[in-house]
Chains A and B, each alone.
Chain A
């Protein structure tokens, strides 16, 4: 029943934030997100039972949510990141901003928890709307263009996925097995041939656009450039994981034969994306865009883990999603703090800020280290598992992935060096305020905890992954 809490609290909070006066909206939103976090704690520690209600019985659609190993820690990532992002937002943004943020939290929670394909699709599309308005309403003319691009590219993908969703259910019912959208029941269906491939690509494209993975990342640069840093943190930290999560949740159990068939193509695409993101990150002069392209590269790393089709690779991806979300979200937020203090994001206009703001520099370095995969921080554990999964069947790809980790260290440290080190230019900036430390410390602590004890997540994820793989095994298997 804690899942009901997790869904109901953000929705109720959103309405409360909309009714509240502009000044109180941030407080309402922050309290709401903390309540949601408490709900997640309850889900994790007390009772993990899901929801399974009748929704549209005529079509076999059930409102079925579950917090299993695949989704549990993504729900945690989502609730944590929203607390942090809301605390990091300006109180002056007004109630509509907090309304849309909480609606976004509501839809992301629903997306990560749903195990019915129809419910999954509903939340998948609903979450585009709040992001669209967050981009439209709180940024300039370029933000409006970014919002259009975001919405149209994502919807282009998801409309084809909609055909896939409908087709899977209808094929299931025409096979005489009854109409259902339950993923676990759909995955029992053997589907090959041209129809199987078409449906596979319908889903794959939607997931790749959302992640984003090269070459379908067209919406990403503008969206990341134009959005407010809390919104970027949420998009990059939480929403982008939805694409990879969809691969784990839908593609692996239902489309295993197709994954096998096109594995080499998919691996090559992911490797190109990995290299493309990394080298684009090296070329950027805007620190937010370095992180953005770095994140593009890391999403490709997660996709590599999925496409490795090995148990370790899938597990590594599942773990890396949570780890990367926390760290990249933190990094975007810290960069947002920097941008507000300096008024610029250009690497050429900042230098030596560590003299005037040592604590800010320390947190900046911490998240930079996390993102580049320093051992002891969770990014390393995730990348390690992904490469371990790759190295047996595809050693070349594993080698390239290892090389990109080195490039990642290069582009991330380049940002840190340019911004924080060297002789200070002009006046210094103010260091962190107490309010900002209050959300940075727990976030950093959480990152360290996961980094030191990855088994806390992987032990939970393993049973669900084996459940997913049980179906996959019947269809050609995972090594």
Chain B
């Protein structure tokens, strides 16, 4: 057993332990949550040890998995996502006792996506990520949730098929399964072109890029709140990580094939996502479209195709994820026993709970990209990458989208800070969710005020020598 996979082993052991806990006592589901949390903590500790050990990068399974600083950073991000989702849904009877197990299983898929360096590992990662999420999406019971699960399953299966077909064609064109072993100039052109296109479609479907974004609003709306949180943060991390590794490691020399396409898709996604978000009345749908737009921002880092872009993408995931966690934590508090929050329900939030309103303000201002929040630094990073790549169009597209996005994010804020008549009901703060909210708010502000340490880590994690 090599030390390099211990973060993943910890998750696997966590799955087994959680299943056992569920068998030992059906009544006390809380045990499963504790074992899951312990597994997440252990995995995090192993990730840090590995990071600091200096034994990286390592390549396992004949180049199938490459464990490097980049995959460690992805590990860290998805662990935060899983912990956040778990705590927001802490011991909630509505979602059944298998909620933590499925969270862990999907986490495993995300971790594999972070280090996959092989078409098969890539596909396994995508499937391991998706299958638990299909179940999770449907775990809210009859009605919208079942519909969401079914929709996600059908469309997800379709995209997996596309992905698999594309990978098969690429294997035929390249003669190898290992991403880093693909030699772009030696590819058989029509085959490789079709393969690359189909694979990209499969991957950006998971990321939720326009025009493959249709499933996102419905699935986000129908899924239980913690699951939506998990999808909005974790899935995006996994999909963005593998997309970047796939394109930058395998097809770096052929960037003429995919660079312009990704660039146009990025601008289209950013602008369309934010525009549609403007019209939303339901907060989950609003955040769903915001997630689409943010996936577009991530694509900017890939389209820039330079080291700044890789770093900016990796950096951006953290403030984005923290803001999403904070926003969904607030929504979970406000929703209480319901499954979603409409824009009108936010009116007077400041009077009901000033703390929640403040937390939401930080989250939304960060998503909008106001300075002294992490979201601003992330966008600033992406802008640098776009400009350094001599792509002013990308930079302008990003700021235009940010402007539209601002209008979308400011409406809920204005609602929550306007007064209502009478004495509104106060809101209960569950402890676990409160921890998520406080940590993510502090993190969001901290990233905005002093981003240098994270920038340092990111510089180290995404320093690919063949880019400049």
Contact = CB atoms under 8 A, between A and B. Distances in A.
B372 A56 contact: no
B370 A147 contact: no
Secondary structure type dominating chain B contacts: helix
Given A136-B417, A137-B417, A59 B371 contact: no
A125 interface: yes
B403 interface: yes
A437 interface: no
A31 to B, nearest CB: 23
Contacts of B455: 56, 58-59
B451 interface: yes
B363 to A, nearest CB: 14
Given A56-B452, A136-B414, A166 B380 contact: yes
B135 to A, nearest CB: 41
A426 to B, nearest CB: 33
Contact of B459 (A58, A155, A174): A58
A375 B417 CA distance: 46
Nearest to B308: A170
Nearest to B455: A58
A125 B406 contact: no
Nearest to B384: A166
Given A58-B459, A163-B395, A122 B372 contact: yes
Given A56-B455, A155-B406, A163 B417 contact: no
B456 interface: yes
A121 B380 CA distance: 11
A148 B372 contact: no
B399 interface: yes
Interface string B389-423: 00010011001101100110010001001110000
B383 interface: yes
Interface in B374-396: 376, 379-380, 383-384, 387-388, 392, 395-396
Interface string A150-190: 01100110011011001101100010000000000000000
B364 to A, nearest CB: 11
A144 B419 CA distance: 12
Contact of A167 (B380, B395, B414, B459): B395
A448 interface: no
A57 B452 contact: yes
B303 interface: no
Contact of A126 (B370, B414, B450): B370
Nearest to B389: A170
A170 B396 contact: no
B244 interface: no
Contacts, number: 80
A128 B406 CA distance: 12
Interface residues of A, number: 34
Given A129-B370, A136-B417, A163-B387, A152 B399 contact: no
A397 interface: no
Interface in B163-187: none
Contacts of B396: 160, 163
A58 B402 contact: no
Given A122-B372, A126-B372, A162 B380 contact: yes
B317 interface: no
B87 interface: no
Given A126-B371, A155-B406, A136 B387 contact: no
B370 to A, nearest CB: 6
B323 to A, nearest CB: 15
B418 A159 contact: no
A380 to B, nearest CB: 38
Contacts of A410: none
Interface residues of B, number: 31
A99 to B, nearest CB: 11
Among A121, A123, A136, the one with the most B-chain Cβ atoms within 10 Å of its Cβ is A136
Given A58-B459, A167-B387, A162 B399 contact: yes
Nearest to A173: B388
Contact of A55 (B380, B452, B459): B452
Contacts of A128: 370
B365 interface: yes
A133 B417 contact: yes
B384 A59 contact: yes
B371 A152 contact: no
A195 to B, nearest CB: 8
A115 to B, nearest CB: 17
Contacts of B400: 159
Contacts of B399: 159-160, 162-163
Contacts of B403: 152, 155-156, 159
Contact of A122 (B371, B410, B452, B459): B371
Given A125-B371, A144-B418, A166 B383 contact: yes
A155 B403 CA distance: 7
Given A129-B370, A155-B406, A166 B387 contact: yes
B387 A170 contact: yes
Nearest to A56: B452
Interface in A87-141: 121-123, 125-126, 128-129, 132-133, 136-137
Contacts of A169: 384
A122 B418 CA distance: 27
Contacts of B383: 162-163, 166
Contacts of B406: 151-152, 155
B365 A129 contact: yes
A147 B414 contact: yes
B388 A170 contact: yes
A194 to B, nearest CB: 10
Given A133-B417, A148-B414, A159 B402 contact: yes
Among A55, A58, A133, A198, the one with the most B-chain Cβ atoms within 10 Å of its Cβ is A58
B410 A151 contact: yes
Nearest to A135: B414
A108 to B, nearest CB: 14
Nearest to A160: B399
Interface in B411-468: 414, 417-419, 450-452, 455-456, 459
A263 B410 CA distance: 37
B410 A166 contact: no
A216 to B, nearest CB: 15
A125 B370 contact: yes
A55 B455 CA distance: 11
A116 to B, nearest CB: 13
Contacts of A121: 371
Nearest to A137: B417
Given A59-B455, A152-B407, A160-B399, A144 B414 contact: yes
Interface string A50-76: 000011111100000000000000000
Nearest to B400: A159
Nearest to B450: A55
B371 A148 contact: no
Nearest to B402: A159
Contacts of A160: 396, 399
B305 to A, nearest CB: 15
Among A137, A152, A156, A159, the one with the most B-chain Cβ atoms within 10 Å of its Cβ is A159
Interface in B270-297: none
Contacts of B395: 163, 166-167
A198 B399 CA distance: 15
B452 A148 contact: no
Contacts of B402: 159
Contacts of A129: 365, 370
A170 B399 CA distance: 17
24 contacts: A56-B455, A57-B452, A58-B452, A59-B455, A123-B371, A125-B370, A126-B372, A128-B370, A129-B365, A136-B418, A137-B417, A137-B419, A151-B406, A151-B410, A152-B406, A155-B403, A159-B399, A159-B402, A162-B379, A163-B392, A163-B395, A163-B396, A166-B387, A174-B388
Given A162-B380, A174-B388, 5 more contacts: A56-B455, A125-B371, A147-B414, A162-B399, A198-B392
Closest 5 CB pairs of A and B: A159-B399, A122-B371, A166-B383, A170-B387, A125-B371
